[in-house]
Amino acid sequence: MTRIFDDPATFADDALDGFTAANRRYVARVDGGVVRSTEMDQGQVALVIGGGSGHYPAFAGLVGQGLAAGSACGNMFASPAAGQVYRVAKTAHNGGGVLLSYGNYAGDVLHFDQAQLRLNTEGIETRTVVVTDDIASAPIDQLETRRGIAGDLTVFKVAGAAAEAGLNLDEVERLAQKANYRTRSLGVAFNGCTLPGAEEPLFTVEPGHMSLGLGIHGEPGISDHPMPTASELAKLLVTTLLKDKPDDAGTRVVPIVNGLGTVKYDELFLLYGRIEALLSNGNLEIVEPECGELVTSLDMAGVSLTLLWLDDELETYWSAPADTSAFRKGNVAARAHRDVQQLAAATETAAEKSTTAAASLSAGAVALLEAARSVVMEHERELGRLDAVAGDGDHGIGMRRGVDAAADAAASAAAAGEGVDRVLLAAGVAWAEKAGGTSGALWGSGITAVGHSLGNRETYGTAEAHAAAEAFHAAITGLGKAEAGDKTMVDALLPYVQTFTEGNGNGTALAETLTAAAAAATLAAEQTTELRPRKGRARPLAEKSVGHADPGAVSFALIVEAIARAYPELTNEKEHTHE
């Protein structure tokens, strides 16, 4: 349990403030997380890591020389918001591009991807390597769907050292991918963990037992076992991990024994001794091992074993010096401190001003968002009720919060003279940050992508509108990975884009195409009634959902209908002002 706090709601932020105060030598606090407080070389790749709080030293404890340039720190066990990742990355960026790296969890992927889109849009080249080391979370042929646990450390360490050595973004990305591909972990839990202020642990393990393959947020394990001896536990972890080793593993390996929060160091060392003996007896060469708390889960009682299978270049970067609050290796030549607050302020570059013609078009984007706002408010309750059938009932309120924030942000950006691209960027970011939930992240990135696609032109025609609809579609499916028939908003979106494509192909006027595409979306949204959800929160209650339309598909159809109705008025007004 957690004993020391003032208000559980601000626990993560309060702890991060204190962490920064205690570690100014390594980090400085910025909005959304921390960045390294020491100088970096101009053109050095910025490794930006992150995730939920409650996993110290992951993630803020791994920021410093030879490791990460910044960390976005979410709430307890919750992904940082896209805006947090964006702000940390923007301050950490030092002219060499950004590599985002974090454990593979759906919420983190949504938010980091959205930040990446925004950074790339602004000309900061950004790539991503997600960590997928947990062998218990998916079979070996689905490696890329595995979750990330203590293997975070090997990937971050290799990427951070490569960045510090001055390698370019391509190389840092390649090495991070290789480290991830050659890292395997397996964990066990002896007991659960409790969020600050919570009455109950997130999960429990039967006394005298351990759960094999348990995730770091209470995700269920793969099997329960009576509590083994240390030697038996070592054997179980080693043999299971060896069965899963990469094809070209070689014989040199870094073992990492990681404590999850409340296992004593003496116990970890004892276990490490048994593990090292087993590996050595298997004719493996041990290289620079680690034993301690490296990726924890609040007060969870548990341990994990990670194996990083080295080759020459991975060994170089794994062994390179590093100096962070929680991880030190070798001797680094200490760098001077820099003024991070000034840096953060300087990165808020003045927006390029749009031309008058481009700015006047922004009013159109604002008007369409206003139309979306009205229709969402009108149907908020109905959307909530639909989501309550098999989801969590928050789709109405989430959409309202999102569209409210988006319409407001768009209006102020337009009032400041911004073009359509920046107006929609502001709207998309505001939507994702205020809405929360899956649909918030999806709509936020969709709107941002539309802005990016439309760009800062002075006129727009059917072809541009078509490209924007396709960009919306690409962002939603790229982020959410839903396919036709999964019972999501994509089931309404696909026929919408198809009809758009047809209209664009045969030269139909935009107003007519918008109306036809919206009608196709509405029909498709109604037809989701027959489907069973295969994505998102509604999946576990799939049967209950049959007979009811998908809330996300319905809200999409409502919004595109509203846009189709509002569009002709825009063009009328424009003609009017031209008279």
Q: Does 394 bind Mg ion (CB under 5 A)?
A: yes
Task: Supply the minimum distance, in Å, between the C-beta of residue 488 and ligand ADP.
Answer: 3
Q: Which of 61, 74, 391, 552 binds Mg ion (CB under 5 A)?
A: 391
By CB under 5 A, residue 428 contacts Mg ion: no
428 binds, among ligand ADP, Mg ion, none (CB under 5 to 8 A by kind): none
Amino acid identity, position 517: A
User: Cβ contacts of residue 266 below 8 Å, gap of 6+?
Assistant: none
Indicate which of ligand ADP, Mg ion, none lies near residue 259 (CB less than 5 to 8 Å, by partner kind). Answer: none
- Tokens 């908020």 found at: 380
- CA separation for the pair 556, 521 (Å, rounded): 8
* Nearest alpha carbon to residue 121 among 351, 278, 313: 351
Structure tokens at 256: 């990492």
C-beta of 429 vs 549, nearer to ligand ADP: 549
Q: Is 418 in the site for Mg ion (CB under 5 A)?
A: no
The option from Mg ion, ligand ADP, none interacting with 359 (CB < 5 to 8 A, set by class) reads none
Only one of the segments 94-102, 249-257, 336-344, 391-399 lies at the binding site for Mg ion (rule: CB under 5 A); that segment is 391-399
For 210, other C-beta atoms within 10 Å of its C-beta total 23
Decide the pairing of beta strands 322-324 and 64-65.
Answer: antiparallel
Catalytic residue from among 93, 217, 473, 548: 217
Nearer to ligand ADP among residue 36 and residue 487 (C-beta): 487
Burial of 411 (0-12, 13-18, 19+ CB in 10 A): buried
3-state secondary structure (DSSP) of residue 73:
strand
Each residue 335-374 as x (binds Mg ion by CB under 5 A) or -, in order, gives ----------------------------------------
Distances (CA, A) of 370 to 26, 135, 453, 513, 522: 46, 47, 21, 21, 20
Nearer to Mg ion, 259 or 396 (CB): 396
Q: Catalogue the E-assigned strands of 287-360.
A: 290-292, 301-309, 322-324, 328-329
Instruction: Closer to Mg ion by CB, 394 or 433: give it.
Output: 394
Report what 531 binds from ligand ADP, Mg ion, none; CB cut-off 5-8 Å by kind: none
Binding segment (CB under 5 A) for Mg ion, from list 67-75, 250-258, 310-318, 381-389: 381-389
Task: State the Cα–Cα distance between residues 253 and 286, nearest whole angstrom.
Answer: 5
540 touches Mg ion by CB under 5 A: no
What, of Mg ion, ligand ADP, none, does residue 81 touch, CB below 5 to 8 Å by kind?
none
Question: Which residue in 392, 512, 569, 573 binds Mg ion (CB under 5 A)?
Answer: 392
Angle at alpha carbon of residue 103, lines to 61 and 303, rounded to 5°: 70
Instruction: Output 243 or 481, the one with its CB closest to ligand ADP.
Output: 481
Of 212-220, 252-260, 393-401, 523-531, which segment contacts Mg ion by CB under 5 A?
393-401
Q: Is 217 a catalytic residue?
A: yes
Closest contact distance (angstroms) between CB of 491 and ligand ADP is 8
Window contacting Mg ion (CB under 5 A); options: 96-104, 247-255, 360-368, 386-394: 386-394
Which residues 6+ apart lie within 8 Å of 214 measured at CB? Answer: 136, 187, 188, 189, 203, 205, 220, 221, 302
> What residues contact residue 303 under an 8 Å CB cut-off, 6+ apart?
187, 188, 233, 257, 258, 259, 260, 263, 267, 268, 271
Asked if residue 57 has a cis previous peptide bond (ω within 30° of 0), the answer is yes
| Residue 493 CA to its chain's centroid (Å) | 23
Q: Minimum Å distance from CB 555 to Mg ion?
A: 11
Question: Residue 551 binds which entry of Mg ion, ligand ADP, none, with Cβ cut-offs from 5 to 8 Å by kind?
Answer: ligand ADP
- Torsion angle of C-alpha atoms 281, 285, 290, 295, degrees rounded to 10: -80
Which of Mg ion, ligand ADP, none does residue 550 bind to, with CB < 5 to 8 Å depending on kind?
Answer: ligand ADP
Closest approach, Cβ 104 to ligand ADP, in A, equals: 15
Task: Give the nearer residue to ligand ADP in terms of CB position, either 211 or 528.
Answer: 528
Integer Cα distance of 36 and 68 in angstroms: 7
Name the residue nearer to ligand ADP (CB basis): 463 or 541: 541
* Per CB under 5 A, 404 contacts Mg ion: no
CB of 564 to ligand ADP, least distance (A): 20
Spatial distance between the Cα atoms of 269 and 258, rounded to a whole number of angstroms: 10
Q: From the list ligand ADP, Mg ion, none, which binds 490 (C-beta under 5 to 8 Å, kind-based)?
A: ligand ADP
Contact 462, 510 (CB under 8 A): yes
Q: How far is the CB of 435 from ligand ADP (least distance, A)?
A: 7
State the binding partner of 569 from Mg ion, ligand ADP, none, CB within 5 to 8 A by kind. none
Query: Closest distance between ligand ADP and the C-beta of residue 561, in Å?
Result: 16
DSSP-derived secondary structure letter, 42: T
Among 108, 276, 387, 491, binds Mg ion (CB under 5 A): 387
Q: Which is nearer to ligand ADP, 64 or 398 (CB)?
A: 398
Q: How far is the CB of 279 from Mg ion (least distance, A)?
A: 46
Residues lying near ligand ADP in the complex (CB under 6 A) are found at 387, 391-392, 394-395, 398, 437-439, 442, 476, 480-482, 488-490, 535-537, 550-553
Q: Interaction with Mg ion in 552-571: which residues (CB under 5 A)?
A: none
Q: How far apart are CA 394 and CA 400, in angstroms?
A: 10
Pick the closest to residue 454 from 465, 446, 445 (CA basis).
465
Task: Count the residues in the chain.
Answer: 579
Angstrom distance (rounded) from CA 119 to CA 103? 20
The interaxial angle of helices 437-454 and 395-415, nearest 10 deg, is: 30
| Tokens coding 304 | 């994990």
Which residues here bind Mg ion, judged by CB under 5 A?
387, 391-392, 394-395
Query: Which residues are catalytic, by number?
Result: 217
